[in-house]
Chains A and B, each alone.
Chain A
Amino acid sequence: MASEEVVLLDCWASMFGMRVRIALAKKGVHYECIEQNLAHKSPLLLEMNPIHKKVPVLIHNNKPICESLVIVQYIDEVWNDKAPLMPSDAYQRAQARFWADFIDKKVYDAAWKIWRTKGEEQEGAKKDLIENLKVLENELGDKTYFGGETFGFLDVALVTYYSWFYTLEKLGNLSIEAECPKLIAWAKRCLQIESVSKSLPDSKKVLDFVLGLKQRMGI
Chain B
Amino acid sequence: MGDQEVKLFSLWASPFGKRVEIALKIKGIKYEYFEEDLSNKSSELLKYNPVHKKLPVLLHNGKPVCESLVILEYIDETWKSERSLLPEDPYARAMARFWAKFIDDKCIAAMWGARKNSEGQEEGIEELTEHLKTLENELKGKKFFGGDEIGLVDITADLIALWLGVLLELKGIELLTKEKFPRLCEWIDDYLDHQIIKETLPDRETYRDFLLKAKF
Contacts A93-B74, A135-B51; is A98 near B65 (CB within 8 Å)?
A: yes
- B90 in complex: contacting residue of A77, A90, A94, A135, CB < 8 Å: A77
Of A67, A97, A98, A101, most B-chain CB atoms within 10 Å = A98
Instruction: Tell me if A11 counts as interface (CB < 8 A to partner B).
Output: no
**Is A209 in the interface zone, CB < 8 Å from B?**
no
Interface string of B52-77 (1 = CB under 8 A from A): 00000000100101110111011001
Q: A91 near B74 (CB under 8 angstroms)? A: yes
Residues on A with beta carbons closer than 8 Å to the beta carbon of B73? 93-94, 97
List A contacts of B67 (CB < 8 A): 97-98, 101
Name the distance in Å between B198's Cβ and chain A's nearest Cβ: 28
B208 within 8 A of A: no
Q: In chain B between 173 and 188, which residues have their CB closer than 8 angstroms to a CB of chain A?
A: none
A-side contacts of B65, CB under 8 Å: 91, 94, 98
Contact pick for A71, options B66, B70, B94, B102, CB 8 Å: B94
CB distance from B132 to the nearest CB of A (A): 13
Secondary structure of the B side of the interface? Answer: helix
Is the Cβ of A65 less than 8 Å from the Cβ of B91?
Answer: yes
A70, B94: Cβ atoms closer than 8 Å: yes
Q: Of all chain A residues, which has the CB nearest B97?
A: A70
Given known pairs A65-B98, A74-B94, the reply for A90 and B78 (CB within 8 Å) is yes
**Contact residues, B87-105 vs A (CB, 8 A):** 90-91, 93-95, 97-98, 101-102
Interface residues on B, range: 20 to 34
* Chain B hits for A219, CB < 8 A: none
Taking CB atoms, residues of chain A closer than 8 Å to B42 are none
On chain A, the residues within 8 Å of B97 by CB distance are 67, 70, 73
Among the interface residues A101, A102, A135, which one has the most CB atoms of the partner chain B within 10 A? A101
- The distance in angstroms between the C-alpha atoms of A67 and B94, with both chains bound, is 9
Interface size (A, Cβ < 8 Å)?
A: 21
Q: Which residues in B have their C-beta under 8 angstroms from that of A70?
A: 94, 97-98, 101
| Bound Cα distance from A66 to B106, whole angstroms | 14
**Residue of B71, B90, B102 touching A78 (CB-CB under 8 A):** B90
CB nearest to B79 among chain A residues: A90
A97 and B78 alpha carbons, distance in the complex (Å)? 15
> Could you give 12 example pairs across A and B, Cβ below 8 Å?
A67-B98, A70-B94, A70-B101, A71-B94, A91-B78, A94-B73, A97-B69, A98-B66, A101-B67, A101-B69, A101-B70, A135-B51
A97 and B65 alpha carbons, distance in the complex (Å): 10
Q: A66-B98, A101-B70, A102-B51 are in contact. List 19 more A-B contacts (CB 8 A).
A: A51-B102, A60-B91, A63-B91, A67-B98, A67-B101, A73-B93, A73-B94, A73-B97, A74-B90, A74-B91, A74-B94, A91-B74, A93-B73, A94-B70, A97-B67, A98-B65, A101-B67, A101-B69, A135-B51
In the bound complex, how far is the Cα of B92 from the Cα of A77, in angstroms?
Answer: 12
B134 at the interface (CB under 8 A from A): yes
Interface centre among B63, B71, B73, B97, by most chain A C-beta atoms within 10 angstroms, is B97
Q: How far is the CB of B145 from chain A (nearest CB, A)?
A: 15
Closest-CB distance, B52 to chain A (whole angstroms): 8
